[in-house]
Structure 1
């Protein structure tokens, strides 16, 4: 039985479009068609796949302005940031097209009395469940890797960005990919388990919250399907005594507010050693005060709305709970009296364990300032988290900083003296409650392949 899903402009609260979900029967048919497409697609050469994937990247850029506007309308991304997301998508297409043949090439191994090969073969239909915060990038990063590996892809996108999902399907079609190599599933949340359980589906990849990730992993495990999880985090950015404070403040404010603060690898907890705490705090607070929210359709707007009302309200409850437990709100922290789902840039001080701002993930422009006695205490605070996706450190002694984060920072990705997010040539993923598996850098192409041993007697 179908249901109606509405997309809502978070800057105005007004409905944009309505979509109808498909029936279970239609869903089963699409999964089967994806499998049938796989039987042909896996026989295509890397060169043939690469040509089509490069074309996807070219078309994304050709439609860049329209796609950026669509993101702004559906999830509130500042219009100035949309083109960068599309350019990243093209870079992923180009990197994957260029490197797949090498990453997935057969490898010769020694074998007594013969020779051996390790080969990487596509598995089949891969089901992706993706969030709204980077509505094109999140899809491209798993879809392109799997398509280049010879798999076919199903997408269940977040319902508030179904217009973006539809646009992606159109681009894959325009690029010339065979029908059903990439398929969008307009399904209700409770239909996702039906896809996972389907005998034709060989793997599940999910990006989103840890709570939902546990459910996805459990469902995949029940059916012995491999899964990849890229979950949330409360990334710590460390400011050491010898840090360039101006550099640190600029990077930290950008890292907290980019994409309206709705990034899994956003800078969220700022752990500052006592010797420079006040200096950093004063400059950071002043810069956060200048980060005013506004119409995301305007080129000079740096901070748009939270993507949905429930997410904005939950963020505010986390702020209130932290303050009730002893945090001090220095900037922001109040719901604005305006249309849309805006939330002001907010700074919380005196943040301690037991507060949402310390223990949880605040998915919005809310910064938690934490004072550390010294470098050792700072790294202990950074690692005092159930999460481990990203993080950062600021120190003018680069060698010391690199050794510290390499040997002691318990997280999947770390920025040194800057703020970086996804890079097509570097692995992306985390540890602990931030999930498992890796994307980008060739690693994503090997997540859903059959690593097969061939032992040949001579």
Structure 2
């Protein structure tokens, strides 16, 4: 047993200390989760719907309580923490209303009297989740998993144990039977043994490429299903015929919300060379207007990064890129866990801020002279989570969407997750899908039923 202490990245003050679960305690939790599955899978969709709607009500009722913990633990501006909790209520309501339809038997005509595919729960599913959206990442897994009849076990990032326990509290307050959703207070060194436990039937992870590879390797050795949502280095492709003012506002939000700490943030700004100078000057004005400060202030848009080491990593990426020839137009300075909103121009594909994922408020700007060059630059990444294309010629953009090596193409909008649409990536951004009908069917047994007289 170890002790983990959470620290407010803005004030530097200690928040809470947590004792991690021992191996024996983890085994006991998994046993209870397994026992609960036997009764939970027998419940009707109507029963599960009632409970998940109660969870949505609880999230709405105590939004401020949960949001304040998020902000204290990771420095996210409070207005954005509130929005995150509210979005979790939405995904609960979505699956409460749609899960039964998504999982209804699929009748297939064959030479049998009757043949169909049923979608049955797998059992206890482990979620390994990150800190940057400590509620949303979990609920977009838990809502469909529970509605499908599975049991959820969460291993959250160690700096958001308070939020992890709050999520467990949401389900308890909603009236869920014990051990339908359980939090494991454990470090990353415990994950391998947890996955190897035969009670765990599948694993979903949102996190880094290295973490995803390690989890997938362990799950693969044990023949267990995985879904991986990993990093991203999304490009914002700005064509010369864009609506410039609307595009500017979307690009600022795409890069700087959550202080840039998002896998789907627009990290590489690719602009047609003919409008680049004007666009960047207008962009600088808007970025200067972003309010930095106390994350608990509702007017704050840029908080701190979640930890000081993360800010140092970003600082190193920016400084190396400057030495490589990038031009600093704004920002670039760090103070403890705070990093100024930063824009670099004249960025080439060989530079760190282009090649690597930048997890913080730094935007790399590169120009292009043709749409073919823009697509080549956008695809010049080991990641493939999503891309945004800005143009008034929507029809033309839609026709080239297939050429982008991404899990999603958003035209005149930032890449975002929506309960109604599948979410996930290709290449080093992972595999499998979350959300929508596609997400809820990731952790079910697609069983063929064949009947003859």
Q: Same fold (TM over 0.5)?
A: yes
Secondary structure at 2:218 match in 1: helix
1:435 counterpart = 2:435: no
CA distance in structure 2 between the aligned counterparts of 1:196 and 1:6, rounded to whole angstroms:
25
CA distance in structure 2 between the aligned counterparts of 1:113 and 1:121, rounded to whole angstroms:
21
Given candidates 361, 367, 370, the residue that maps to 2:363 is: 367
Secondary structure at 1:111 match in 2: coil
Higher mean C-alpha deviation, range 395-404 or range 236-245? 395-404
Secondary structure at 1:238 match in 2: strand
Partner of 1:398: 394
Decide whether the 8 Å contact of 2:112 with 2:450 is kept in 1: no
Secondary structure at 2:384 match in 1: coil
Secondary structure at 2:266 match in 1: coil
Report deviation, 1:420.
4.3
Given candidates 378, 385, 409, the residue that maps to 2:381 is: 385
> Counterparts of 1:221-260 in structure 2 under 5 Å?
221-260=220-259
Structure 1 residues 33-88: Cα deviation after superposition (integer angstroms, max 9, x where no partner): 11110010000001101100110011011010111111110011101112211111
Partner of 1:355: 351
Decide whether the 8 Å contact of 1:260 with 1:306 is kept in 2: yes
> Counterparts of 1:227-376 in structure 2 under 5 Å?
227-336=226-335, 340-376=336-372
CA distance in structure 2 between the aligned counterparts of 1:413 and 1:357, rounded to whole angstroms:
22
Partner of 1:409: 404
Secondary structure at 2:451 match in 1: strand
CA distance in structure 1 between the aligned counterparts of 2:431 and 2:95, rounded to whole angstroms:
21
Partner of 1:87: 86
Structure 1 residues 297-340: Cα deviation after superposition (integer angstroms, max 9, x where no partner): 1111110000011111111111111112111111111223xxx5
Partner of 1:12: 11
Secondary structure at 1:80 match in 2: helix
- List alignment gaps of at least 5 residues for structure 2: none
Decide whether the 8 Å contact of 1:305 with 1:343 is kept in 2: yes
Aligned residues: 453
CA distance in structure 1 between the aligned counterparts of 2:393 and 2:259, rounded to whole angstroms:
31
Decide whether the 8 Å contact of 2:349 with 2:377 is kept in 1: no
CA distance in structure 1 between the aligned counterparts of 2:238 and 2:112, rounded to whole angstroms:
58
CA distance in structure 2 between the aligned counterparts of 1:341 and 1:12, rounded to whole angstroms:
10
TM-score after normalising by structure 1:
0.97
CA distance in structure 2 between the aligned counterparts of 1:360 and 1:367, rounded to whole angstroms:
12
**Structure 1 outlier segments of 4+, above 3 Å:** none
* Root mean square deviation of aligned Cα: 1.0
Do the aligned partners of residues 190 and 258 (structure 1) sit closer, same or farther apart at CA in structure 2, a change above 3 Å counting? Answer: same
Decide whether the 8 Å contact of 2:388 with 2:415 is kept in 1: no
Structure 1 residues 3-58: Cα deviation after superposition (integer angstroms, max 9, x where no partner): 01011101011111100001101101111111110010000001101100110011
Secondary structure at 1:396 match in 2: coil
Secondary structure at 2:358 match in 1: coil
Decide whether the 8 Å contact of 2:125 with 2:150 is kept in 1: yes
Decide whether the 8 Å contact of 2:268 with 2:364 is kept in 1: yes
Report deviation, 1:364.
0.5
Decide whether the 8 Å contact of 1:292 with 1:345 is kept in 2: no
Report deviation, 1:286.
2.2
